[in-house]
Structure 1
Amino acid sequence: MPKYLVFMDLDNTLLGSDHKHISVRTKATIEKLQKHEVKFYISTGRMYELAKITQNRLNPEVGMITSNGAVFDGINGQEVTLLGKKTVEEAYKVTHDRKLPMMLFTPDTAYFTEKIPHFIAQNAGNFDEAFGYHEIENFEELQKVAGIITNGVVLSRGNMDELDQVRKELAATKLLRLSASGPDNIEMIPLKTDKGTAIKKVQLETGVDKDHTFVFGDGMNDLGMMKQAHYSVAMGNAIPEIKETANFVTDSNVNDGIATFLEAHFRELF
């Protein structure tokens, strides 16, 4: 079992400004610490199969918490929490009335309910043109997959007031947990589930406590995991709420904030 756990958000944390690549320095730091009983995890809102693209850029020893905690690597295999058929159907009704794009995910498949404009898609962490998506054209098609969905995201077309109203209507259902990875989206997560609940389960399974756990994040969907580690670290580019919650602040993602903090903490190894 490892002595330390490190959980890293992807967009604006581990990844650069292109939302795809890991710096040479950060990759080298991770690989060095892996040789010294430090277990690393990706911790992201992205679906499992899409997050594997980043895992493959590191190595298979990196564990994964995906779909904002709804899908993660446990010691006995992949653990999955579903959003719920009724929840998905209600979300469809709320977003369809306004024709807002909604993306829905299983661990290995992505669906969308409205054609996603390119300017939104190219900035969405859960979007990769090479991956492939399935369009849901009506409520009947939605019902066929609603029972296997783990999480989803509602994307704004630029009208923040409209997005805020959708957020209020979704919250009023009391069927799901809401978060966000940016100001222009709503992350839909199963009740009593987030990155933090998944991290807590990993800690219990590995026997590693909060005092030996590091988390790195920048956005609202990282708040839960900030409470699960003594070494809760906000990126230099994080939103104010994360910096206020975290115990530490490091440099930005484009300036190797993860590597900077870990190299300083484990300085005897560098």
Structure 2
Amino acid sequence: MDGTLLNERMTVPPENAAAIQAAAEKGIQFIVATGRSYTEAKPLMEQVGIKTPMITMNGAEVFDENGEIISTVTIRKQVARKIFHILREQGIYFEIMTMNGTCSDSKMKRIQNVASLLVDLKTTDSFKIAVSLASARLELMAINYVSSYDVILDDPNEFILKIIAFSPENQALLAPVAEKLNALGNLAITASSASNLEINHIDAQKGAALATYADKLGIPMSQVMAIGDNLNDRSMLEAASVSFAMGNATPEIKKVARYLTDTNINHGVGQAIERAIRENLS
């Protein structure tokens, strides 16, 4: 969603919504695949009157159009402890996404990192303004603040779906940390911006979730199209027969995708959908 379906104001532009609805009228199924949680993603689609299935937290959870959970893939607690240790060693702030919502152990750091994301997404060029926007946005979001993540690790009723680590002030830290995390095995290490790492179980990836959902609908991957902008979209772009990179996508994603569309600011998703239908891409 961020950097793809959403514009710089973090809303679905009318051009994208119109293209999705036009595709639906032709019998084309649309599905959101995002690193966000369901509670963060659903309201954005409701604002434009679109009811759709969702792959959330990079594939850790999949929901049908009625909000019913189809599948869940968690990170084992003993693995999570090792992940926490690696991140803490480097002084990297991180958040945990569970079945009960997103958890943070520092409101100040959360605001700072959301502000950095807003600057990355071109919502504003001013970090000071971004901090104000982030503070206002977080007031509307259900965030669980905890004194220690051990509370979650020790609770048998809490299940960890995704861990997201932030290092906007020292992005060079992320590559060696990603190597250490990969060495743990059975993890998918991706990113949704240059300043973060997204950590999931190896089976919780957008591509695998998309293929499973398409199979459930009886749709072969040769008839599936995907659009993305960052590393957490790579598995999905590789799995789909028709793949579009956003104009604002990372160089790696532009190499992976078969086609290129406009930026998220210029409603590139809507343009890609219209082109795919017009040219009958396959």
Query: Normalised by the shorter chain, which TM-score bucket?
Result: 0.7 to 0.9
Q: Distance in 1 between matches of 2:43 and 2:99?
A: 13
- Tell me, yes or no, if structure 1 residue 238 matches structure 2 residue 256: no
Matched, 1:173 2:165: no
Answer yes or no: is 1:135 the counterpart of 2:145. yes
- The answer to whether the Cα contact below 8 Å between 2:178 and 2:197 also exists between their aligned partners in 1 is yes
Correspondence for 2:94 among 99, 102, 109: 102
* 1:174-189 paired onto structure 2 within 5 Å: 174-189=185-200
- 1:11 maps onto 2:22 in alignment: no
Does residue 1:63 correspond to 2:56, yes or no?
Answer: no
Cα distance, 1:79 vs. partner?
A: 1.2
2:97 alignment partner AA: F
TM-score, normalising length from structure 2?
0.83
**1-side partners of 2:255 and 2:149: how far apart?**
42
Letter in 1 for 2:230: G
**Cα distance, 1:52–1:123 mapped onto 2, change above 3 Å:** farther
Question: Given the superposition, is the C-alpha separation of residues 108 and 173 from structure 1 closer, same or farther in structure 2, using an over 3 Å criterion?
Answer: same
**Structure 1: gaps spanning 5 or more residues:** 1-9
Letter in 2 for 1:88: A
Over the matched positions of the two proteins, sequence identity in percent amounts to: 25
Contact kept, 8 Å, 2:207 with 2:239, in 1: the verdict is yes
Q: How well do the aligned residues superpose, as a CA RMSD in angstroms?
A: 2.3
1:241–1:152 distance in 2 versus 1, CA, 3 Å = same
The CA distance in 2 between the partners of 1:233 and 1:132, in whole Å, is 32
**One-letter identity of the residue aligned with 2:3:** N
- Determine if contact 1:44/1:68 at 8 Å carries over to the other structure: yes
- Kept in 1: contact 2:60–2:200 (CA 8 A): yes
Which residue is equivalent to 1:208?
A: 219
Q: Distance in 2 between matches of 1:171 and 1:265?
A: 36
Contact 1:65/1:195, CA 8 A, preserved across alignment: yes
Aligned to 1:13, the other structure's residue is in SS state: coil
SS in structure 2 of the partner of residue 37 of structure 1: coil
Give TM-score scaled by structure 1 length: 0.87
Partner residue in 2 for 1:6: none
Q: Which secondary structure state, in structure 1, belongs to the residue aligned with residue 31 of structure 2? A: strand
Aligned residues: 258
Q: Secondary structure of 2:265's match?
A: helix
Equivalent residue for 2:75, pick from 69, 75, 83: 83
Residue matched to 1:54: 44
The residue aligned with 1:119 is 112
Deviation of the 1:32 alpha carbon = 1.9
Residue type of the partner of 2:26?
A: H
Residue 52 of structure 2 contacts residue 64 of structure 2 at CA under 8 Å; is this kept in 1?
A: no
Whether the aligned pair in 1 keeps the contact of 2:168 and 2:196 (CA below 8 Å) is: no
